[in-house]
Amino acid sequence: MEKDAKIYIAGHRGMVGSAILRKLENEGFTNFITRTSATLDLRNQQQVADFFSSEKPDYVFLAAAKVGGIIANNTYRAEFLYDNLQIQNNIIHNSYLNGVKKLMFLGSSCIYPKMAPQPLREDYLLTGPLEDTNEPYAIAKIAGIKMCDAYRAQYGCNYISAMPTNLYGYNDNYHPQNSHVLPALIRRFHEAKENQVPSVTIWGTGSPKREFLFADDLAEACYYLMQNYNEPGQVNVGTGQDISIKDLALLIKKIIGYEGEINFDTSKPDGTPRKLMDVTKLNEAGWKYHTTLEQGITLAYNDFLSKGEMVAQR
């Protein structure tokens, strides 16, 4: 990407989009186009068409999406499918119509079958049923990968897809019901410490394993891939290492300094037993993560504390 290129980051205020913006600013890029959802509804076909026609970006990072944890995914099934399809359809198609040089589409590890072999390789896509609780979101993201590949095949568009593992970091969502597991645990242990609650209860057995990547590491990977990768199909972005929910809870408890007990409500669902990404393709392309889980959680918790009441109300 040329240093004076016009770059559109869809979702620049979210955790991923803001990390990409920080990375590009650190690399010396200055010509950004950004819009908030209040001024540009990415679900609206005409608004997106008008935006691309007037702004004509050179490069696009598609980090905008309707996202949430297991409860949000399962509760708002129609919105997670409709909103995400609309957002990506509008951006990908209008990128083609307006001559965007390169586009990166960001998805999620939930695109892979629920019971796929571990670790999850890129070629496991569409080889089995999805996890039911987030199937609508996963289907939208699979459609985005295939759309990028279709526009590449038919029109020669250089559109690439990156599938990150579970993310956390600055500007995360700490909503009590709609957040993902790691930020949800940060909030719950923090509030338990502040309110001197004797125990924290966590859903499930604590045995499922999850992989976590610091969002600023993802931003580095995205920048690297935009500079060096030009192939069809998705690229997994992760650490290649996972941790049980129980051990994650113990680590967060230690970082926050909570001294109470941890209880596991085994009447509640565990979800997918394991979701570890195979990152061989990414490593062979020349990139590896560098922020450890303990380092990243410490940074995320300090960010949580700095936001104070603003976070508590989200």
195/137 Cα distance (integer angstroms):
35
Helix, strand, coil percent values for the chain (each to nearest 5): 45, 15, 40
List residues with catalytic annotation. 137
Name the nearest CA neighbour of 131 among 314, 269, 298.
Answer: 269
Structure tokens at 242: 């996972």
Residue 312, token pair as written in the block: 């508590």
Stretch 100-115: mean pLDDT: 94
Main-chain dihedrals φ then ψ at residue 236, nearest 5 degrees:
-70, 135
What are the structural domain ranges in the chain?
A: 7-171+211-240+275-291
User: Which 3 state secondary structure label does DSSP give 65?
Assistant: coil
Known binding-site positions: 11-17, 106-109, 141, 164-167, 180, 188, 203, 210, 270
Annotated binding residues for NADP(+): 11-17, 106-109, 141, 164-167, 180
The model carries a pTM of: 0.92
Per-residue pLDDT of 29-41, as tens digits, reads 999 999 999 999 9
Structure tokens at 113: 């079958």
How far apart CA 304 and CA 309 sit, in angstroms, is 10
Encode pLDDT of 228-266 as tens digits.
999 999 999 999 999 999 999 999 999 999 999 999 999
Known binding-site residues for substrate equal: 188, 203, 210, 270
- Would the pLDDT of 311 be above 60? no
Tens digits of residue pLDDT in 49-69: 999 999 999 999 999 998 877
pLDDT tens figures, 180-238? 889 999 999 999 999 999 999 998 999 999 999 999 999 999 999 999 999 999 999 99
- Nearest-angstrom CA–CA distance, 245 and 237: 20
CATH topology of domain 7-171+211-240+275-291: Rossmann fold (3.40.50)
